[in-house]
A and B are shown apart, each in its own frame.
Chain A
Amino acid sequence: QVQFVQSGAEVKRPGASVKVSCRASGYTFTNYDLHWVRLAPGQRPEWMGWIRPRNGDTKYSQKFQDRLTITRDTSASTAYMELSGLTFEDTAVYYCAKKGGATDWFDPWGQGTLVTVSS
């Protein structure tokens, strides 16, 4: 079955960067876009961007355009999300999620990675 394994929880200082990985299995990694969504405490889920593993094309939400980088390693069926210039407001659980079909509904999601920004 399709599943994702994300990297473990991180604690970062303000101004630092964090890189979260998402390893896919159970399907052909290059066949579907992979999205990143974050969920901060008490907030609505927030879409961050996607990568097309087949060719590395990316699209980012304008909110994160300046400090988000999504990459992939097709040999490892793994996508990476790197967010720089962290602030306390970036404390959240970060999820990768597979594009479900021809359009951008998400199924399934990774287990999530908690990123805590603390001084």
Chain B
Amino acid sequence: ENVLTQSPGTLSVSPGESATLSCRASQSVRSNYVAWYQQKAAQAPRLLIYGASYRATGIADRFSGSGSGTEFTLTVSRLEPEDFAVYYCQQYGSSPITFGQGTRLEIK
């Protein structure tokens, strides 16, 4: 299976600054089929990005995704208080679908 490794495990950033989250796959992801989700406490995950770089409906343009092959990045610009949460990457290019272990974005 394609193992996803996210880094860092925890990222401390001040509101108004930018955060860069990384997701590395153990094998190349077919057609860059990578999605990013945000999860807040006691809530379900929410889709942010699919196809590595396409923003989901209703997602602020402060969220952007990039990457290809085995290296993918989620960038959150101009951090707002509601952005502090856990972020997961997912690959759906091969079976089984797999997720990264998450990056916790916390307020500095």
| Residues in A lying within 8 Å of B, measured CB to CB | 35, 37, 43-47, 59, 61-63, 95, 100-101, 103-112
| Residues in B lying within 8 Å of A, measured CB to CB | 31, 33, 35, 37, 44-47, 50-51, 56, 88, 90, 92, 95-102
Tell which of B50, B90, B100 touches A101, judged by Cβ atoms closer than 8 Å: B50
Tell which of A47, A103, A108 touches B99, judged by Cβ atoms closer than 8 Å: A47
* A106:B101 contact, CB within 8 angstroms: no
10 A-B residue pairs with Cβ-Cβ distance under 8 Å, sorted by A, are A37-B99, A44-B101, A45-B99, A61-B96, A63-B96, A103-B33, A108-B46, A108-B47, A109-B46, A111-B44
Tell which of A59, A61, A107, A111 touches B47, judged by Cβ atoms closer than 8 Å: A107
Bound Cα distance from A35 to B51, whole angstroms: 18
* B96:A44 contact, CB within 8 angstroms: no
* A110:B44 contact, CB within 8 angstroms: yes
Asked, given contacts A44-B101, A46-B99, whether A109 binds B44 with beta carbons under 8 Å apart, the answer is yes
Which of A61, A106, A108 has the most chain B CB atoms inside 10 A of its CB?
Answer: A106
